[in-house]
Amino acid sequence: MSDTRDPSNGPSTAPVTDDDVVRLGKNLKPHWVWAIALGSAIGWGAFILPADWMRDGGGPLTAMLGLAIGGVLMIIIGVSYGYLARVFPVSGGAFAYTLVGFGRTHAFICAWFMTLGYTSIVALNASALALLGKHTVPQIIETGHLYTLAGWDVYLGEIAVATLALVLFAVVNARGASLSGRVQFIFCLVMIIAIVALVVGVLASPTGSFSNVTPLTDGTVNPVVGITVIVAIAPWAYIGFDNIPQAAEEFDFPAKKAFRLIFWSLIAAAALYCAMILATASAAPWQELMGEDRVWGTADAITNSLGGVGLALLVLAALMGIITGLNGFFVAGSRVLLALGRAQMIPRVFQRVHPRFGTPHFGILFVLVLALIAPWFGRTALSWIVDMASIGFTFAFLYTSACAFKMLRWTGQRDLEGIEGSASTWRKVAAGLGVLIAIAFVLLLLVPGSPAQLSIPSFLAMGAWILIGVIFFAARMRHNRTMSDDQVDQAVLGESRPDFLVRK
């Protein structure tokens, strides 16, 4: 692509050379990348929350419909991710696309929230191991009571478990993408096998039956409201499919396969979510799981139907879901930081690649350090941050869909120079729908009175993070002005942006 940028656009117009930016090796196979997305999407919630979803949605049918509809909406948004990952197969995902479509300031805003979101989900998955341990080996987890924060008892045992898990998977990621990809695929297979065994086992057991699923709704929650409440969690439930474009620079296969991997990872995630709701509702009359005293309704139902074997399968599946989430979001978080370092929006040390393992080790270390702080604040406080981070992901969806809509042309119009497949009506329609869907998710989370409105603590956490971002951006502003737009583009994208997107 030629560069027609005005040299006066910045104080320096010298190209960024390969010596300045080290690209990541192409080590990830298609099934590993698919597993990174699926394992990131299916975390602890699929195994801990089915009873909560049935309660909030008003029954198993509305819960499954809500998750299925949410999956379809994510596929529509995934069209834009798949297209842009093919055109710009680089680390950074939505950050890189926002940089192309809307410039550095918007790209920083997008990446700031993405970094928080990825890091907080890493921390949440680590703390979920402690939550799982409280139900299986409480004598180990609930040792060394330290304090109570926001109603959650913090124990030294759970902090130790979370810390060990975080360090372990930071090391796995630091030692090479091929290692983390291979581990991810194996663990995903184990998780899928365990879930299938649970569903088959429950339906084949003397107490398990489809009749337990009826009535499909409880009659106390308006079905439309119930489905909407569940659909609203889709950005949180399915976040992970965007890890595919995050890893695009490391594909050892053509980037045009990105959308297919996104599509099948989302289909698989929706199926597994619905399978766990079905297993929970079929194991025992689901209304019995709605009591406020139920700490883990899914475990109670599965144990009632399959006994200790069922509980072991559930714990195994949950364990696989948690550690694949840990692994997958270490990948995503470190790649965003790598792209930010290349753009020099954060210190350049983050663009360094390990000389032996070829990984963005400083980004991995940064995610680890932030995540290690979280267990000390208790799970309740951490959940506020994760809820707030859902807004950040919806903004990433919005920016990505808007950039794709901006770049795509209607079928029959002249293709953009150098942009393969840029004329496509169905992709442009999907990108436009993606913009509307992302705006709808933002409104569901922010508008007062919405059934999915964020809690006040989540709003406060979001305000604090925005303030920190403003201060950080202002502190880096003088340095950012020493780089031209083209230098940033070449560092992040490996080339100049398309001519039609150059700001005159």
Q: What is the mean pLDDT of residues 198-223?
A: 81
Sign of torsion over alpha carbons 261, 178, 401, 438: positive
39 within domain boundaries: yes
**Cβ contact 392:113 at 8 Å:** yes
Binning pLDDT at 50, 70 and 90, where does residue 265 land? Answer: very high
Is the Cβ–Cβ distance between 249 and 24 less than 8 Å?
Answer: yes
Q: C-alpha 266: how far from its chain's center?
A: 12
Least confident range of 138-147, 241-250, 315-324, 452-461: 452-461
> Token digits for 450?
């919405």
Q: Output the pLDDT for position 313.
A: 94
Res. 448 pLDDT band, cuts 50 70 90: confident
CATH of the domain at 40: 1.20.1740.10
Domain range enclosing 157: 26-392+446-495
The verdict on residue 3 lying in a domain is no
> In the predicted model, what is the mean pLDDT of the chain?
85
Q: What percent of the chain has pLDDT over 70?
A: 90
Q: What is the pLDDT of residue 10?
A: 40
Residue 413 falls inside a structural domain:
no
**Residue 11 maps to a domain:** no
Q: In this predicted structure, what is the pLDDT of residue 18?
A: 43
pLDDT value for 294? 62
For residues 486 and 378, which has the higher predicted lDDT (pLDDT)?
A: 486
- Is position 188 within any domain? yes
Residue 195 confidence (pLDDT) above 70: yes
Per-residue pLDDT of 431-440, as tens digits, reads 999 999 999 9
End-to-end CA, the chain:
17
Q: Is the pLDDT of residue 348 over 90?
A: no
Q: Once rounded to an integer, what is the mean pLDDT over residues 181-208? A: 93
**Is position 422 within any domain?**
no
pLDDT, tens digit (0-9, with 9 covering 90-100), for 153-182: 888 998 998 899 999 999 999 988 888 899
The pLDDT tens digits of the residues spanning 16-66 come to: 444 467 888 898 999 999 999 999 999 888 998 898 888 888 888 889 999
Residue 87, in any domain of the structure: yes
Q: What is the spatial distance between Cα 342 and Cα 364, in angstroms, rounded to a whole number?
A: 15
Q: How far apart are CA 280 and CA 277, in angstroms?
A: 5
Instruction: Find the DSSP H helices in 11-155.
Output: 30-41, 45-48, 50-57, 60-87, 94-102, 104-136, 138-141
Count up the domains in the chain and report the number: 1
Confidence of residue 12 (pLDDT cuts 50, 70, 90): very low
Note the pLDDT tens digit of each residue in 400-423. 999 999 988 887 666 554 555 566
**What tokens appear for 181 in the block?**
């990809």
Helices (H), 205-296: 223-231, 234-238, 243-246, 258-283
pLDDT of amino acid 413: 67
The answer to whether position 208 is within a domain reads yes
Q: Whole-model pTM? A: 0.88
CA 445, 450, 451, 456 torsion: positive or negative?
Answer: positive
Predicted pLDDT at 374: 81
Decide: residue 224, CB within 10 A, 0-12 exposed, 13-18 middle, 19+ buried.
exposed
